[in-house]
Structures are given as structure tokens and as C-alpha cells.
């Protein structure tokens, strides 16, 4: 099995200034959820998606995404549109959140006093699709023969739960008496959304779960222990939920998972460390076909050694090009690193390097703009396209 494309990108792209200007009157994007969008801003969004899709087609960038231009932040627009959830824009830091949760402790150091989240206050139900309108906007910018070359993204089911203080992701009024009940119903909603998007023509979906890398963070693990949380049980619950949402997916819907260590504006990340502590469980106990992984920086992301746990039949997109730095990567060094990753897999699976290359692809390590205001230091629109074309060039030389 090989990835859908030898080149990939994580989905979000820098927003054009015209779109940012059109949204300037809205509430702060840091509030994240369910902002009322005036018609002129919606029209600017539609034009921006049309233009960015056209550029990807012209430049041969694949897969084709909408740049997540319809969202203020990559996880926006999903949870709050499911029945049973309620957005809370100003939960207090740190009281409402897990002890020493890396994201909220980092935001507190920047001066943040509150953070938005979505709380379950009733029965979780799928009454309408959260993301169908976004997919149709992307699809509508493409000729039908290119629908299969498009990718759509959505947040992981554990996004809200993992950050909130234990026992507070759902309220007593919701009717839930356990986290498992909460996740069982949430997984059903995800499965329904996958089917809805598939029926509308989607064939490549990416689930973003950067928080799974927190299980390799001593700060997160120690904070959970202080809260009385068993992190092995917590991780098991999350991976089971991922598998539940995938269990009934259409056979030809390709679903991948993206993991990174945080991607806030100014090249900020939240945790560091190798995938080593989670790689075996990630690759062997989740049912994803593709894993988009961050490998652009050895100090932050670690080396390729965890790839030895990748089983046959699954594949990895190597995030070797950085969205966090303005420097263009060296072509020769990137090719060496691709072959180094293939070497780790080849040795572990007892196959040739050429065979190992067949389960690899190449991408930037994360999105270029996980929120409207994000962007790496020195990153510009022109440089973003240069980096995406660099991925294409290197991939073309490796997989001839």
C-alpha cells in the first residue's frame, strides 16, 4: 500500500490579506468558535478558496485543499455544530484545564487568562453535517475529475476532552455518567460525517490529532498524574475512539492522521520529543492507513528510529519541509533524509530500501496557518509556494 500522493501538505495555507481584511470586524479568531460571518466576509472567503484551488491546480500541488479558509482555526466548526455541545468562549486558565497542560501553560506565559472550549451539555447527536458546506465549497471549485485529488481535514474526537479538567468535558445535565459514553456517541457522529462527506464525493480525509504527541511529553504526563489520571488508560480510550469512527468507513475512503507538536503563530510549538514513546501503539493499534508525521527538526521532533514500528501495509508522509522557518531546505539533504527513513523501515520489515520507499511520501511538517493569524517567522505567501514546489521537486527526484 502506498500513500494517495507522493507529495502532500497538511491542509492549512496562509490566508490572503483580502480575506483577513474582510474578517477584521469579527471577534478575535482566538475565540475560535461559531462566529457570525457577514455576507461580505463570506464572499471574500468564497473568492479566496476559488483562487487558492486554482493556484494548486496550476502549480501541480497535491492534494488540493481549501487552505482551511472557511475556519478561523483548524478544529473550528465541528464540535459546536453537533447536537449536545455548547461553546464556552472564556474558560479560566488554569482552573478549567488539565494540570500543566502544555497548550494552556504556554498561553498563560503569553498573558492569556482564558481559553475557549466546547463542553457537552446534552445528548451528542448528529443532526446535520458540520463540514458538508465546506467540502461542497472546495468541490465546487474543482472539475469533477479532480474531486479525487482533493483532501479535507477535521479535528480529532479527543480534542476537547484532552485539554479540559478531568470530569468536565461533559456536564451532569448531559446525561453522561462516563467518558466512555461520551466518546461512544461522539464516534458515531464522526462515522456519520465520514459517510456524508464520502457520499458527496470526498475520497481523502485527514484527521488532525497533534495532542497524541503530548503522551510523549513529561510535562503532560506529570500533570495527568497530579490530576489522578492514568495516562495509559486515557491513551487507550482515545485510540479506541479513533478506531470506532473508522470501523464502518467506505472501503475506498482513504483516511490519514496528522500528528505534530503544535503550530501557533510565530513558529511556536507546545511540546518536544521523539515519537518513540507512542509509535508502536500509534502504528499498530490505530486503523489509519497513512500517518503524516513531523520530522523537520531533530531537536523538536526526533529522528526516524520510531518508524521501525511501522507494520507492512501502512504508510508515512515525512514532514521534512518546515513551515516554521523561512529558510529553504537543501534538496540533497532532503533526499538523504528520505532514504534514511526508508532504511529504518527496510531493516525492520526485512525488505529492500526500494520497497520501503513505496510506503513513504513527502510534505511540510504542518500546515502553514493552523489559525487565521498563524504563520511561521518570516513566512510569506511566495515562500509558502516555493516550499510546496520544493516538496514536489524532491519527490519527483526520489520517486521517478
What is the structure's pLDDT at 368?
A: 94
- Residue showing cell 498563524: 374
Note whether 328 and 390 are within 8 A (CB). Answer: yes
What is the structure's pLDDT at 271?
A: 74
**Terminal CA-CA length for the chain:** 18
- 198 burial via Cβ count (<10 Å: 0-12, 13-18, 19+): middle
For 143-163, what is each residue's pLDDT tens digit? 999 999 999 999 999 999 999
- The rounded Cα 141 to chain-centroid distance in angstroms is 23
Does residue 267 register a pLDDT over 80? no
For 46-68, what is each residue's pLDDT tens digit? 999 999 999 999 999 999 999 99
Does residue 25 register a pLDDT over 80? no
pTM score, two decimals?
0.94
Closest by Cα among 317, 356, 341 to 151? 317
Does residue 115 register a pLDDT over 60? yes
* Range 388-395 average pLDDT: 97
Q: Which long-range contacts (CB under 8 A, 24 or more apart) does 234-239 make?
A: 234/162, 235/278, 235/281, 237/179, 237/180, 237/183, 238/156, 238/157, 238/158, 238/162, 238/212, 239/281, 239/282, 239/285, 239/286
For 272-321, what is each residue's pLDDT tens digit? 788 999 999 999 999 999 999 999 887 778 899 999 999 999 999 999 99
d(CA 48, CA 42): 10
d(CA 116, CA 89): 4
Greatest mean pLDDT among 81-95, 294-308, 337-351: 337-351
Domains present along the chain, CATH in parentheses: 17-398 (3.20.20.210)
d(CA 351, CA 345): 8
Mean pLDDT (the chain) is 92
For 185-222, what is each residue's pLDDT tens digit? 999 999 999 999 999 999 999 999 999 999 999 999 99
What is the structure's pLDDT at 30?
A: 45
Does residue 29 register a pLDDT over 70? no
Greatest C-alpha distance within the chain: 58
> What H or E segment, with its residue span, contains residue 83?
strand 83-92
What is the structure's pLDDT at 374?
A: 66
d(CA 258, CA 155): 10
Burial track 209-236 (b if 16+ CB lie within 10 A, e otherwise): bbbbbbbbbebbbebbeeeebeeeebbe
d(CA 364, CA 367): 7
Neighbouring C-alpha atoms within 13 Å toward the C-beta of 254: 18
Q: How far is CA 237 from CA 76, 212, 303, 362, in A?
A: 23, 12, 27, 30
> What H or E segment, with its residue span, contains residue 361?
strand 360-364
Q: What is the number of residues in the chain?
A: 400
Amino acid at each position: 500500500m502506498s500513500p494517495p500522493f507522493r507529495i502532500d501538505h497538511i491542509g492549512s495555507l496562509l490566508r490572503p490579506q483580502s480575506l483577513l481584511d474582510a474578517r477584521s470586524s469579527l471577534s478575535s479568531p482566538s475565540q475560535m468558535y461559531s462566529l457570525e460571518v457577514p455576507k461580505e466576509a463570506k464572499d471574500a472567503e468564497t473568492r479566496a478558496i476559488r483562487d487558492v484551488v486554482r493556484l494548486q491546480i496550476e502549480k501541480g500541488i497535491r492534494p488540493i485543499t481549501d487552505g482551511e479558509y472557511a475556519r478561523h482555526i483548524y478544529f473550528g466548526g465541528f464540535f459546536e455544530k453537533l447536537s449536545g455541545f455548547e461553546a464556552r468562549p472564556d474558560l479560566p486558565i488554569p482552573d478549567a484545564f488539565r494540570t500543566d497542560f502544555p497548550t494552556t501553560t504556554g498561553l498563560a506565559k503569553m498573558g492569556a487568562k482564558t481559553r475557549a472550549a466546547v463542553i457537552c451539555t446534552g445528548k451528542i447527536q448528529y443532526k446535520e453535517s458540520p463540514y458538508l458546506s465546506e467540502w461542497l465549497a472546495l468541490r465546487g471549485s474543482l472539475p469533477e475529475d479532480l474531486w479525487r485529488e482533493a483532501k479535507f481535514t477535521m479535528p480529532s474526537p479527543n480534542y476537547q476532552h484532552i485539554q479540559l479538567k478531568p470530569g468536565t468535558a461533559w456536564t451532569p445535565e448531559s446525561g453522561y455518567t462516563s467518558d466512555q459514553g461520551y466518546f461512544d456517541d461522539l464516534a458515531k457522529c464522526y462515522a456519520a460525517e465520514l459517510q456524508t462527506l464520502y457520499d458527496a464525493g470526498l475520497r481523502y480525509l485527514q484527521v488532525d490529532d497533534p495532542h497524541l504527541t503530548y503522551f510523549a511529553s513529561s510535562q503532560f504526563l506529570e500533570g495527568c498524574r497530579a490530576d489522578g489520571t492514568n495516562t495509559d488508560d486515557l491513551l487507550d480510550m482515545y485510540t479506541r475512539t479513533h478506531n470506532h469512527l473508522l470501523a464502518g468507513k467506505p472501503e475506498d475512503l482513504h483516511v490519514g492522521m496528522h500528528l505534530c507538536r503544535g503550530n501557533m503563530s510565530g513558529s511556536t510549538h507546545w511540546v518536544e520529543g521523539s515519537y518513540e514513546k507512542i509509535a508502536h501503539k500509534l502504528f499498530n493499534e490505530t486503523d489509519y492507513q497513512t500517518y503524516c508525521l513531523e520530522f523537520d527538526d531533530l531537536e523538536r521532533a526526533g529522528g526516524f528510529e520510531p518508524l521501525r514500528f511501522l507494520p507492512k501495509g501502512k504508510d508515512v508522509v515525512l514532514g521534512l519541509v518546515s513551515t516554521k522557518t523561512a529558510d529553504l531546505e537543501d534538496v540533497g539533504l532532503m533526499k538523504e533524509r528520505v532514504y534514511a527513513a526508508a532504511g529504518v523501515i527496510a531493516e525492520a520489515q526485512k525488505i529492500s530500501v526500494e520497497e520501503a520507499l513505496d510506503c513513504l511520501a513527502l510534505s511540510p511538517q504542518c500546515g502553514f496557518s493552523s489559525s487565521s493569524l498563524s504563520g511561521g517567522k518570516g513566512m510569506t505567501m511566495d515562500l509558502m509556494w516555493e516550499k510546496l514546489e520544493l516538496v514536489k521537486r524532491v519527490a519527483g527526484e526520489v520517486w521517478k
